[in-house]
């Protein structure tokens, strides 16, 4: 049976029988399990950082690589919002997965290019993978819209994120036990290459989901963008999340770099600690709904902002130890998971009718501006001798890494001035403009 787009395509899930929808949801789950390793490896684990270190890359290049996702999304999220309407969701998924697989295989092959080029080949692979991410985001949600009824969405997203972080966290934790203090480059190549191949499983299971037959449609990006720009509460909220991302998006990768190159922990210890961070994501996604019901959105967002001030401040003042650093990574990822869920919820609440795709792209572009700017700033501070390698405050000997943690805490503190941009803090807006 072929389905075609119609006036009521948003009700497509209602036309499918329960067994078929259940099967399609299972395919969606499995596709996320195959794809999660590539997503989590670049964003939340130490594998790529360790790989760069083995190849002799400096702190500046390593930290710059973490800014690439934000830079790419910054320029592509809005243009890609119309791509699905032109070529279809499944073709976009295929393009995204093929590019993701190639990018990881390219990173795995980096040592074969010689010592002068290997680091930059890895950097190129990171860039190509980041190009695949907006393509996936633009196609994933329209596909789910055809197989999920509204009442099923919350449970699906919570269960899906919880399950793939459990899976990836377990695998990366076991990998940390297996790596040893100084893992051979061939082992890291094998892990990265296998991760790339797994993304093809995502493409295969998405192809098994039946969605309406695609018909190319005109999508007026300029008009949709103008609607979002005139939505003052959305613009204010986007500015807030941009500032908070500027303050905190660097903290987790900088902490992993601090463990490896500042405190000189072994690769196995660093990877196990990064798995503790993944555990924070798991718990954040699991408890987010319960926390919203218990505290309310306003109180939860204030708690998240407070955590974004306190965590980097604690990393500045604390005397490092393995359990304490694991606790900080857990708390940082827990807070960032809750922050991400809150952002998604508020975007849905603020988007004008018919403008959800652009509103989401608009707000996430602002978020990526903050993320990319923060990580580029940290990369600059690490590599240009602007800051002293060490200095003393009271009885504390502060390293370069700790100084940057202090800056991150200060930016988050300054961002408190934007709290009134939160719709939960000022729930009733009276937008007025009289030129």
Domains of the chain by residue range: 11-421
Q: How far is CA 122 from the centre of its chain?
A: 19
- Residue 4: the pLDDT is 43
Q: Which residue has the tokens 């955590």?
A: 307
**Token pair of 323 as six digits:** 């359990």
Query: What residues form DSSP beta bridges with 213?
Result: 4
Q: Element (H or E) spanning 396, and its range?
A: strand 396-399
Report the alpha-carbon distance of residue 251 to residue 256 in Å, rounded: 9
Report the alpha-carbon distance of residue 291 to residue 289 in Å, rounded: 5
**Token pair of 407 as six digits:** 């800056």
Report the alpha-carbon distance of residue 354 to residue 227 in Å, rounded: 10
- What is the full per-residue pLDDT of the chain (435 aa) written as tens digits? 344 434 334 446 667 777 888 888 899 889 989 988 888 888 767 788 888 888 887 777 777 777 777 778 778 877 876 777 677 778 888 999 999 999 999 999 999 988 888 888 998 998 899 888 888 877 776 787 777 776 676 567 767 778 888 888 888 888 888 877 778 889 899 999 999 999 999 999 998 888 766 565 566 778 888 888 888 889 999 999 999 999 998 899 899 889 988 888 888 888 888 888 888 988 888 888 788 888 888 999 999 999 999 999 999 988 889 999 999 999 999 998 889 888 877 877 787 876 777 787 788 889 888 988 898 888 888 877 777 777 777 777 888 889 999 999 999 999 999 998 888 887 766 554 443
In 3D space, the residue among 245, 187, 186 whose CA is nearest the CA of residue 371 turns out to be: 245
Taking a C-beta distance cutoff of 8 angstroms, is the pair 60, 120 a contact? no
Taking a C-beta distance cutoff of 8 angstroms, is the pair 238, 367 a contact? yes
- Residue 97: the pLDDT is 93
Taking a C-beta distance cutoff of 8 angstroms, is the pair 132, 38 a contact? no
Q: What is the largest CA-CA distance in the chain?
A: 73
In 3D space, the residue among 215, 177, 157, 168 whose CA is nearest the CA of residue 345 turns out to be: 157
SS3 56: coil
Taking a C-beta distance cutoff of 8 angstroms, is the pair 49, 62 a contact? yes
Q: Residue 4: left (phi > 0), alpha (psi -120 to 50), or beta? A: beta
SS3 109: coil
Report the alpha-carbon distance of residue 157 to residue 139 in Å, rounded: 16
- Residue 17: the pLDDT is 73
**Token pair of 156 as six digits:** 């699906």
- Residue 158: the pLDDT is 67
- Residue 115: the pLDDT is 80
- 11-421 folds as Growth Hormone; Chain: A; (1.20.1250)
**Token pair of 370 as six digits:** 């903050």
Phi, psi (rounded to 5 degrees) for 398:
-95, 130
SS3 4: strand
**Token pair of 59 as six digits:** 């702190």
> How many Cβ atoms are within 10 Å of 390's Cβ, its own excluded?
11
Q: Element (H or E) spanning 397, and its range?
A: strand 396-399
Rounded to 5, what percent of the chain is helix, strand, coil?
Answer: 80, 0, 20
What are the E-state strand segments in 43-177? none
């Amino acid at each position: 049976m072929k389905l075609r787009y119609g006036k009521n395509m948003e009700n497509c899930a209602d036309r499918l029988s329960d067994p078929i929808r259940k099967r399609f949801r299972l395919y969606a789950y499995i596709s996320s399990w195959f794809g999660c390793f590539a997503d989590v490896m670049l964003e939340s684990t130490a594998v790529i950082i360790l790989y760069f270190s083995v190849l002799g890359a400096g702190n500046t290049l390593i930290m710059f690589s973490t800014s690439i996702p934000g830079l790419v999304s910054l320029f592509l999220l809005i243009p890609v919002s119309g791509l699905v309407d032109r070529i279809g969701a499944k073709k976009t998924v295929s393009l995204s997965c093929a590019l993701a697989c190639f990018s990881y295989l390219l990173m795995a092959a980096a040592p074969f290019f010689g010592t002068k080029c290997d680091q930059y080949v890895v950097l190129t692979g990171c860039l190509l993978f980041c190009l695949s991410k907006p393509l996936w985001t633009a196609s994933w949600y329209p596909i789910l819209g055809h197989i999920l009824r509204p009442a099923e969405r919350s449970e699906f997203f919570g269960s899906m994120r919880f399950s793939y972080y459990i899976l990836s966290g377990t695998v990366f934790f076991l990998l940390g036990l297996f790596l040893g203090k100084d893992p051979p480059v061939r082992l890291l190549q094998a892990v990265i290459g296998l991760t790339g191949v797994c993304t093809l499983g995502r493409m295969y299971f998405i192809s098994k989901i039946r969605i309406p037959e695609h018909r190319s449609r005109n999508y007026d990006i300029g008009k949709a963008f103008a609607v979002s720009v005139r939505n003052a509460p959305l613009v204010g909220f986007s500015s807030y999340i941009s500032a908070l991302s500027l303050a905190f998006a660097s903290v987790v990768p900088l902490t992993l770099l601090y463990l490896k190159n500042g405190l000189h922990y072994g690769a196995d210890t660093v990877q196990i600690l990064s798995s503790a961070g993944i555990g924070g994501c798991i718990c954040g996604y699991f408890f987010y709904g319960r926390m919203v019901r218990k505290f309310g959105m306003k109180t939860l967002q204030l708690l998240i902002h407070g955590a974004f001030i306190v965590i980097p401040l604690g990393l500045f003042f604390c005397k490092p130890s393995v359990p304490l650093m694991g606790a900080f990574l857990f708390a940082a990822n827990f807070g960032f998971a809750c922050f991400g869920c809150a952002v998604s919820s508020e975007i849905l609440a603020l988007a004008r009718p018919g403008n959800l795709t652009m509103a989401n792209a608009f707000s996430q572009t602002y978020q990526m501006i903050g993320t990319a700017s923060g990580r580029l700033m940290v990369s600059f501070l690490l590599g240009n001798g602007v800051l002293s390698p060490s200095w003393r405050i009271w009885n504390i000997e502060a390293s370069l890494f700790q100084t940057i943690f202090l800056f991150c805490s200060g930016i988050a503190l300054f961002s408190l001035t934007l709290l009134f941009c939160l719709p939960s803090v000022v729930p009733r807006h009276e937008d007025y403009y009289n030129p």
